[in-house]
Amino acid sequence: MTATETLSLTEIEALAYDALVATGTAPENARPLALATAMTEADGVASHGLAYVPIYAGHVACGKVDGKALPVLSQPRPGVVAVDAATGFAHAAINKGFTELIPAARSQGVAVLAIKNSYNCGVLGVHTQRLAQAGLLGIGFTNAPASIAPSGGAKPVLGTNPISIAAPGGDGEALVLIDQSASTIAKSEVMKHAREGKALPRGWVLDAEGNPTTDPEAGLKGSMVPSGGYKGVGIALMVEMMAAAMTGASLGTEASPFSGPVGGPPKTGQFFIAIDPDVTAEGGFGERIATLVASIRDQEGARLPGDGRASARTRAARDGVAVSVATLEKLRALL
C-alpha cells in the first residue's frame, strides 16, 4: 500500500509554489501554476497535481519551458484577446488572458482567448472551471504533441487534444464540468504504467505498426487509441484547428514531447470561448440548466459529468488530500 501524507489545499499550493520558485520559475508565473496544482489535487486528478511539479522543474532546467518568460497580451478586437506565452508556462498566459477575457465576455456577451507559444496546461477543466466560477459558460481547447493516428493510418498526426466545457451554477461553482481527451485514456496514464512496469488494459494504445498492445513502452512508440474510433479522431482534429490553427501555435506534428528533456519548447496552444449565458438565454439559463441537470440526477445511479470531481473537491476542502510520500520527498528535495 502506498504511503501517504495528508495536506490541506493551502499547503499543497504553498509547496508547489516554493518548489517552482526554488527551481527557477518567476514568482508571478509560479503562483497561477501552484493554484492550478492545488485545484487539480482537490479534483482528485493526482497524475497532474503535485506529481507533475518535478517534471515542470526539470523542464525549466533543460529549457523546454522558460520559467521567467513574461506572457504578452494584445486585444486586436473588443471580443478577441490574444496572448503570446513566449515559451513560458501556459498557466501564466491563461491567467493573464483571463483578466481581459472575463470582462470582455461580460461586456460583449461573448469573447475568445487565443494563446500561442505555450506549454502543457495541465487539466483543461481547471481553467474552464474558473470561467464558470465567474458566471460564464467556458469552453476550452488545447492541443498536444502528436500521438493519435488518423483513421486507417498508423503514424500519429494529432495530439490527445482535450476539450472542456463548464457551465455555471447558482452557487458560484461549475454545475456541469465536461473535460475529456480525444483518446480513450490520457497519455499520462500510459506513462505512469510505463514507469511502474505495469501492463496496460487492451484498447488503450497501438504499437508502431498500428496493432493493439498492452505494452506501455510499445504504446508510447506507437499511438493512442482514439475515443469512439473515427469520432475521436474528429474531435482531435477539431481541437487541433481551434488550439493550433486558430492561435498560430505549433501543430501536434511540430510540437516537442511534453515528457522528457528532448526537443525544446513545444509551442502548443490553447483557445477559450467565454459566453455570458444570461445574454444568450435572456435570463433563462439558470432554470434551463437546472432542469437539464435534474433530469439526469433524478435517475437512480445516473451521474453527471463533473460530479466525481465536485465530490472530491468538497472532501478535499474539508479533509485535505492524501499525497504520496514518494511525491512529497521529490518535491521537498527541490527546496
List active site positions: 47-48, 189
CA distance 325 to 139: 35
Cell numbers describing residue 138: 467556458
The residue to which cell 480525444 is assigned: 182
Among 153, 216, 221, 211, which Cα is nearest to 185's?
A: 216
Q: How many CA atoms lie within 13 A of 222 on its CB side?
A: 22
322 contacts 312 by C-beta, under 8 angstroms: no
Amino acid letter for position 2: T
Lookup: cell for 317 = 476542502
